[in-house]
A and B are shown apart, each in its own frame.
Chain A
Amino acid sequence: MLCKRIIPCLDVKDGRVVKGTNFVRLVDAGDPVEAAKAYDMCGADELVFLDIEATNECRKTMCDIVRKTAAEVFIPITVGGGVRKMEDITELLNAGADKVSINSAAIKNPELIREASQKYGKQCIVIAVDAKRNTDKGNWEVYVNGGRVNTKIDALEWCIQAEQMGAGEILLTSIDRDGMKTGYDIDLTKAVCNSVNIPVIASGGAGNKKDFLDIFTISKCDAALAASLFHFGEIPIPDLKQYLFDRNIPIRIAEKEV
């Protein structure tokens, strides 16, 4: 049976994990490669590296991080942040990334989705959608540039279009919930999952184990992503996975290294 995935997201700036990670004792809490290895050991199903500065210079650093990580960590790696053109995608995939996540650039130029998925296969093209509720219109709108600019585009329509253009997966972040620790945006996630037939990763708002149980029980999402919750050891991934497993969510319980 296909498992629900638990995905830690590492925000990277200047080649360092922002705010560090301290869920296990790492020699260097800010080293993304060290953090990735630790997450692999504790059963993360996949890793996301998010380049929060995303200049061209940063992408070279990011490629270097991906290359080092992929040499030692044998689970899927997704890289996002500042992916603007085909060359960026090529560089990251060649560095060992399994998937590339595209956000603002896909809104500006949806053809990029088609071009990239035709060249590399849609399985490696993730469309990141940052959505915020518009209470007046009763819908969700897509924001870009790190959640600063409202495109006024309807989030559900955009997800449907992205799927049609060749997206292989949607990384759906609720701006309303991000950092709030009040749970994932179930309504938004449900709405998107019911609109598309590609995997959806829920992101933004997880605060406790039950939030994960709820999003997997109530929506059809395939994966749940969190950042600081994992980095600071508030919820250890093995505990979370056991909790979900005990409640009949299909979860991969990683074998202990001998």
Chain B
Amino acid sequence: MNPLFQNKWLIVSSIELFVILFLIIKLRKKKNENTIDKEILKSKKTSINMSDIMLDINLAPNLYKKLCRVCHPDRFIGTFYETSANTLFQEVQKAENNYSMLCELKIRIEQELNLIIS
């Protein structure tokens, strides 16, 4: 057999070997991926209720404004409800874009501050 032909195959096989080695190194690097990356990849499977998000987009801003106005701590200065108004106002601010949380807070405000919110 021609020695040149043999050399060709040697070159091809060595290139193949390098490619395989490169892929193996890449695979090993992938195995040592950050746990945070894995955490993000896990969230692929979480199901999200889109109708809740629509409620958050459309109804939460108005309810937030209303609750902020109703339970603002300045309205309760020097009264029995001052401290609870403070904590409730802070919680309302935290749940600005969460309609379900705001609904729960509305009930709490009605109970704790003795108010009727229309």
Q: Real complex partners, A and B?
A: no
